[in-house]
Structures are given as structure tokens and as C-alpha cells.
Homo-oligomer: A and B are copies of this chain.
Amino acid sequence: MRVFVPFDATAPKTRLSPVLDAGERAAFARAMLEDVLEAVEVAGGEPTVLATDSIDAPAPVTVDDRPLDDAVDDRLADAERAVAIVVADLPLATPAALERLFGADGEVVLAPGRGGGTNAIVARRPDFRVDYHDASIRDHRAIAEGIGASVHEVDSYRLGTDVDEPADLAEVLLHGDGGAATWLRDRGFELAIEGGRVGVRR
């Protein structure tokens, strides 16, 4: 399956600025992207990075500097067969989780992300469109319903765990074993256990 992985090549992961400086955010975002690309490939997908600017990556790169929704919509409209969109900040994504995504029935398959996001999509309808703003999972359900497409939601913690905020780094340390997890550990991040949910400290 053709898999597009949108990537902000200019100022990624700004919400991690309380714990990572700009250079670190760029490097960590790249580490997460590479984890995702590798998992997609092992799961049998054919990844293409859909980047806002030219980057070196271990997969083909298509540059499209328009807003995310426009860039993704064009790939959906051009698709003659199924196409997947997988966000780049899923360092817990495993081949097994992605195989469940790619293999799920449904003209539109959605993997919800924490806080209303949509972390992965498979579209088997060229008339499906995306709206990644705000509670996108609700919008994507409505858009699919509006075109009469059958919807399936994939129930995956790993695909649901996008990394945007400092607390999310704990998830990477707890459950990750790829390059992003190694990157964090090498920079001195470790779990901070203070009752309730764990966080990170450095």
C-alpha cells in the first residue's frame, strides 16, 4: 500500500520546546520519522515522506509546502487504489500495528490519536478528504459519512500515541525500542515517577 507520511521540515514539534531546544526538536522529529518509515516498510507499505521542504530521508520525499490538508487531499484524490496517511510522530508504531491498519476492512479506516486527533488513515475512496484541525477524528467520521463511505476504527494504543507534549516522552521511554527512544535515552531523559502518571526528567 502507498503510504504518505506528512513531515514538517521547518519547525517541527514546537510543543516540546519546554524540554528540547530547536535543534533537538528537529533531530528528535527526524528520529521519530525514521522509526515510522522503517515500521511502514516492514509492514509491507511503500512510504513516501510528504514534506514541507526538501529533506534527506531513507524513503522517497515529495515536497509540498501548502497547508497539510491541501497536500494530503491531493494525494487522496490522485490515488487509484488504497492510500494511507500516517503521521510522522508515532515512535511506538510497530509493523504489527500498521499491518492491522493496512489490513482493516472499510472504505475509510481511522486510527484515533490522543485528544481527538487522527494518527493514521487508510482511504479506499478517492473522494475522501481530510481536516486535521481540532477534533479531527470527529471531522473524519463526518466526512466519511458525508460521502457514504464505510468506516472502521483501528483500536491501537501504539498508533494512538503521537508525541507532541513533554508528557508524551514518557510513553516513548516506557514502550519504545526504536531510534526515537534511543535518542531520548542518549540525551539523559528518564522516567520521573511522582505518583499518578509518570513524566520525564533529564
Hey, which bits of chain A sit against chain B, CB under 8 A? 15, 94, 96-97, 100, 111-112, 114-117, 134-135, 137-138, 155-160, 164-165, 167, 170-171, 174-175, 191, 193, 195-198
Contacts and interface: CB of A to CB of B under 8 A. Distances in A.
A63 to B, nearest CB: 26
Contacts of A171: 114-115
Given A115-B171, A115-B196, A135-B174, 16 more contacts: A96-B155, A97-B155, A111-B157, A112-B157, A112-B174, A115-B167, A116-B191, A116-B193, A134-B198, A135-B191, A135-B193, A138-B174, A155-B156, A156-B156, A157-B157, A164-B196
A17 B193 CA distance: 22
A114 B155 contact: no
A161 to B, nearest CB: 8
Contacts of A191: 116, 135
A157 B155 CA distance: 5
Given A160-B160, A174-B135, A198 B155 contact: no
Contacts of A135: 174, 191, 193, 198
A196 B155 contact: no
A198 B116 contact: yes
A198 B114 CA distance: 9
A141 to B, nearest CB: 10
A112 B197 CA distance: 12
Contacts of A117: 197
Of residues A96, A112, A155, A160, which shows the largest number of chain B Cβ atoms within 10 Å of its Cβ? A155
A149 to B, nearest CB: 19
Contacts of A197: 114-117, 164-165
